[in-house]
Amino acid sequence: MIELNGKIKQDTTLVRERERIARAMHDDLAQYLTALSLHTKAISRVSENEEVLIHTNEINNLITSSRLNIKHIIWDLLNNCLLYTSDAADE
């Protein structure tokens, strides 16, 4: 029984940490990437320099890719939390 309580506490700690990381990624990284995207789009709207437009477009493509990757990582973290919690409840 004591061993089971220890495992439940460890599992709960792991789930909470995964949820915290997912929230931090969403709240911090995703918002910073969105801000960067807005700034590069603003630069591309006012610039007439072709080289600047090429680079801002590349930056926006990288930002879009990074945002999608973060979204998938967050989904995986939260989905694993649900699976982990579900598995622990079944034991």
Q: What is the pLDDT of residues 31-55, one digit of tens each?
A: 899 999 999 999 999 999 999 999 9
Each residue's pLDDT, cut to its tens digit, for the chain (91 residues) gives 566 566 666 677 878 888 888 888 888 888 899 999 999 999 999 999 999 999 999 999 999 999 999 889 888 888 876 665 555 555 5
pLDDT of residue 86: 55
Cβ-count burial of 41 within 10 angstroms (0-12 exposed, 13-18 middle, 19+ buried)? middle
Token output for 82: 């649900």
For the chain, what percentages of helix, strand and coil (3-state, to nearest 5) are there? 95, 0, 5
Q: Tell me, yes or no, if the pTM score tops 0.75.
A: no
